[in-house]
C-alpha cells in the first residue's frame, strides 16, 4: 500500500497552522518523522489516522481519498497515539481483548493472536498483572501490541520509544524491522538516534513544514 500526501494542511480552530502544504509519497518500509516539539508530527499522524480532518490538500491510500472514505484506512490501520491511555485495573490480556472487541477483531484465532502479540512485546510473564502496576516501558509495549491486533498494513507510531530502556529499544527495533516486511510504517521522534537507526527514510519537520526527506547525516545532526 502507498500513501500519497499532497499539500496537506491543518489549521486548528484556534487559528494555529500546525501543518502547512505538506507533501510526501510513502511506499513500503519505515518512514521516520523527526522534529522538535510542535513541528506538526502528531498532527500529520492524526490526519493519516483520520482522527482529525485536514483543512487543505489531499490524502490518498493507493487511489482512495481517505478524507472522504476514512474506512478505507481504518480497517488496515494500527495506531499508537502519543497520549495512549490504558486501563489500570485490567491486565494486559484483558486489555487486548477489550481493544479487539472495539476494533471488531474476533474469531477463534483471537486468543492465539493475543498470546503471540504479548510474546512479541515481551509481556507474557506479566500478562496477568493489572496494567496499573506496569512501568512506563511496559505500558508503551502494551500500546504497541494493541496497534498490531488487526494485522495492520499501515502502522502509525507516535513517539513509540518514549519510556523504553535500551534493551526495550533494541527489541522494538527488531519488531519494527520484522513488521516492515509487509507494512508501511510511520514513526515519529524528537530524538535523532531513535530515528536514524530504525527508519529507511527520514523526513525532518519544523513549523508544520517538511524541511527535507533526504537521509543526510549532516542535516539530521542539525535537527
Ligand atoms: P479540530 O479542529 O481538529 O477539531 P480543535 O482545535 O477543535 O481541533 O481541538 C481539539 C482538541 O485539542 C480540543 O479539545 C483542544 O482543547 C485541544 N487543544 C487545543 N490546543 C491544543 C494544543 N496547542 N495542543 C494540543 N491540544 C490542543
Ligand atoms: P509535534 O507532534 O511535532 O510535537 P503537534 O502536531 O502536536 O507537533 O503540534 C503542532 C502545532 O499545533 C503546535 O504548535 C501545537 O501546539 C498545535 N496543536 C496541536 N494540536 C492542537 C489542537 N488540537 N488544537 C490547537 N492547536 C494544536
Instruction: Tell me what ipTM this predicted complex has.
Output: 0.75
Residues of the chain with pLDDT under 70: 214-223
Mean pLDDT of the chain: 92
How high is the pLDDT of residue 131? 95
Q: Is 112 helix (H, G, I), strand (E, B) or coil?
A: helix
Q: Are the beta carbons of 21 and 10 closer than 8 angstroms?
A: no
> How is residue 124 annotated by DSSP?
G
Task: Give the residue among 144, 165, 5 at the shortest CA–CA distance from 81.
Answer: 144
Which residue has a Cα nearest atom 3 of ligand 1?
52
Q: Are the beta carbons of 196 and 220 closer than 8 angstroms?
A: yes
Q: Which atom of ligand 1 is nearest to the CA of 53?
A: 3
Which residue has a Cα nearest atom 8 of ligand 1?
12
Q: Cell numbers at residue 206, please? A: 519544523
CB neighbour class for 43 (10 Å; exposed up to 12, middle 13-18, buried from 19):
buried
Residue 68 Cβ inside 6 Å of ligand 1? The answer reads no
Q: Which atom of ligand 2 is nearest to the CA of 159?
A: 2
Residue 12 Cβ inside 6 Å of ligand 1? The answer reads yes
92 CA to centre of ligand 2 in angstroms: 30
156 contacts: CB under 8 Å, gap ≥ 6: 45, 48, 49, 77, 78, 79, 80, 147, 185, 186, 187
Which residue has a Cα nearest atom 24 of ligand 2?
12
The residue whose grid cell reads 494500527 is 78
The sign of the dihedral angle between the CA atoms of 52, 10, 79, 65 is: positive
d(CA 63, CA 141): 33
Annotate 134-171 with three-state secondary structure. CCHHHHHHHHHHHHCCCCCCEEEECCCCCCCCHHHHHH
pLDDT digits (tens, 9 = 90+) for 82-103: 878 888 999 999 999 999 998 8
Choose which residue among 14, 32, 43 to substitute to test ligand 2 binding: the one with the highest number of ligand atoms within 8 A of its C-beta. Answer: 43
* This prediction's pTM: 0.87
Choose which residue among 10, 11, 12 to substitute to test ligand 1 binding: the one with the highest number of ligand atoms within 8 A of its C-beta. Answer: 12
Residues within a 6 A CB radius of ligand 2: 12, 14, 16, 18, 35, 37-43
19 CA to centre of ligand 2 in angstroms: 9
Which residue has a Cα nearest atom 13 of ligand 2?
38
How high is the pLDDT of residue 215? 56
Q: Are the beta carbons of 87 and 95 closer than 8 angstroms?
A: yes
> How is residue 117 annotated by DSSP?
H
How high is the pLDDT of residue 191? 85
Amino acid at each position: 500500500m502507498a500513501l500519497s500526501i499532497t499539500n496537506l494542511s491543518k489549521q486548528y480552530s484556534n487559528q494555529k497552522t500546525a501543518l502547512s502544504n505538506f507533501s510526501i509519497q510513502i511506499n513500503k518500509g519505515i518512514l521516520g518523522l523527526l522534529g522538535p516539539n510542535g513541528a506538526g508530527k502528531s498532527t500529520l499522524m492524526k490526519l493519516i489516522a483520520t482522527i482529525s480532518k485536514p483543512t487543505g490538500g489531499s490524502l490518498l491510500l493507493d487511489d482512495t481519498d481517505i478524507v472522504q472514505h476514512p474506512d478505507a484506512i481504518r480497517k488496515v490501520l494500527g495506531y499508537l497515539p502519543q497520549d495512549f491511555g490504558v486501563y489500570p485495573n485490567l491486565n494486559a490480556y484483558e486489555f487486548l481483548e477489550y481493544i479487539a472487541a472495539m476494533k471488531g477483531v474476533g474469531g477463534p484465532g483471537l486468543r492465539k493472536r493475543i498470546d503471540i502479540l504479548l510474546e512479541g512485546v515481551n509481556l507474557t510473564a506479566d500478562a496477568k498483572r493489572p496494567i496499573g502496576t506496569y512501568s512506563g516501558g511496559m505500558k508503551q509495549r502494551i500500546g504497541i501490541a494493541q496497534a498490531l491486533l488487526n494485522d495492520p498494513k499501515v502502522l502509525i507510531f507516535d513517539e513509540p520509544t518514549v519510556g523504553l530502556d535500551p534493551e526495550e529499544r533494541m527489541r522494538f527495533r527488531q519488531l519494527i524491522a520484522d513488521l516492515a516486511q509487509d507494512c508501511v510504517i510511520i514513526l515519529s521522534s524528537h530524538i535523532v538516534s531513535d530515528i536514524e537507526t530504525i527508519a529507511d527514510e527520514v523526513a525532518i519537520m519544523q513549523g508544520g513544514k517538511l524541511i527535507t526527506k533526504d537521509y543526510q547525516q549532516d542535516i539530521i545532526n542539525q535537527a
